[in-house]
Amino acid sequence: MHVTVLPRRDGGSAGPPSSPRKPWLAALASFLLPGLGQLYNGRFRKGAGLLCLAAAWQLLGIGAVETFRWWLSSLAGYLLLSLYAAWEALRTARRLTHFVPGPRNSLPVYLGAVALMATAAIAAGQAERWAFPIFAVAQTSMRPTLRSGDRLRCQALRPRDIVRRGQLVVFEYPSEHSLIFVKRVVGLPGEVVEVADGSVYVNGDPIDEGYYAMRGPGRKSLDMPPARLAPDEYYVMGDNRYASFDSRSFGPVNRARMLATPLYVIFSRDDFGRVYWDRIGLPAR
């Protein structure tokens, strides 16, 4: 019996087709979401590690918001993490010219990574807005300390937090809670407060204030006769005593209406769009 053996063609036993990785896509994915490009490259352990690190960075970075320097350092650190992840994904993808996608190189895996980062970002954003809200100054009553157009990073006041004299506070207007003001505390609960020619007297003695606007010749300040504050009331005034709508007009502020205390200026821009770069990062004191 004669048997003819046919030669085997090259590639006759080939497995799944290869799919070379696109370096630009891997780098872009990891820059936007650190670790996603590594998943795309099939480096699942490294990708999962970078994703978890980025998520933890967003959540734990909330505490860094309390000071401008640490907040800026936190942002710079996250940017460096994104740049490293993008560089590593780009370098790896260039070597994967014969990459064969595995079962974890699938759309559900990529969407799961995006969902993880989106959840962490939303949770961090909501927690930051609650603990360190941002309020805008729209008045001139706090000049020279604050100016109209300042965006203030603040720290939310909890019921057990102590409010001290000289502290800046953000509060709801006593008779209209939708209006938000920022003033300085000059009188504490139980004290007798008097205002005469812009100067504040507490229990008959003048208090030392070096932060409000200087007196101008011929300018008249709104005065207030002596009045005792209730156990939960605070007397607040603007630093610009001659152009401030404060407790001299609407009375003391209840502690329950105090929302936050300003920490620093996060951004400053006037009504014409001019940005005051020199004010960014200034402490609000």
Residue 212 φ/ψ, nearest 5 degrees: -90, 165
Q: Which of 193, 194, 241, 238 is nearest to 219 (CA)?
A: 241
Q: Beta-carbon neighbour count of residue 142 at 10 Å?
A: 28
Q: Give the H/E segment covering residue 68.
A: helix 68-95
Cα 11 to the center of its chain, rounded Å: 57
141 included as an active-site residue: yes
Give the active site residue among 183, 244, 247, 268.
183
Q: What is the pLDDT along the chain (285 residues), one digit of tens a residue?
A: 555 555 555 544 456 677 889 999 999 999 999 999 999 999 999 999 999 999 999 888 877 888 999 999 999 999 999 999 999 999 999 999 888 888 888 899 999 999 999 999 999 989 999 999 999 998 888 988 999 999 999 999 999 999 999 999 999 998 887 899 999 999 999 999 998 877 899 999 988 877 665 555 556 778 889 999 999 999 999 988 888 899 999 999 999 999 999 999 999 998 888 999 999 999 998
Please tell me the distance from the alpha carbon of residue 209 to that of residue 188, in angstroms, as a whole number: 15
pTM, whole model, 2 decimals? 0.81
pLDDT at residue 211, rounded to an integer: 63
Residue linked to tokens 């300390």: 145
Six-digit token string for 222: 């709104």
Please tell me the distance from the alpha carbon of residue 106 to that of residue 24, in angstroms, as a whole number: 19
Q: Which of 251, 237, 169, 167 is nearest to 200 (CA)?
A: 237
CA atoms within 13 A on the CB side of 170: 26
pLDDT at residue 153, rounded to an integer: 95
Please tell me the distance from the alpha carbon of residue 113 to that of residue 54, in angstroms, as a whole number: 11
Q: What is the DSSP letter of 97?
A: T
Question: How would you classify the pairing of strands 253-254 and 192-196?
Answer: unpaired
What is the secondary structure of 16-28 as a DSSP string?
Answer: SPP----HHHHHH
Q: What is the DSSP letter of 283?
A: B
Strand partners, 228: 192
Please tell me the distance from the alpha carbon of residue 168 to that of residue 262, in angstroms, as a whole number: 6
Beta strands in 82-198 (DSSP E): 134-136, 150-156, 168-173, 176-187, 192-196
221 included as an active-site residue: no
Residue linked to tokens 């005034």: 237
pLDDT at residue 259, rounded to an integer: 96
Please tell me the distance from the alpha carbon of residue 170 to that of residue 261, in angstroms, as a whole number: 6
Q: Give the H/E segment covering residue 58.
A: helix 44-60
CA atoms within 13 A on the CB side of 149: 13
Residue pair 35/48 in contact by the 8 Å Cβ criterion: yes
Give the active site residue among 30, 74, 141, 247.
141
CA atoms within 13 A on the CB side of 251: 10
Residue linked to tokens 């590593």: 88
Rounded to whole angstroms, what are the CA distances from 183 to 19, 131, 169, 204, 279? 63, 20, 6, 22, 19
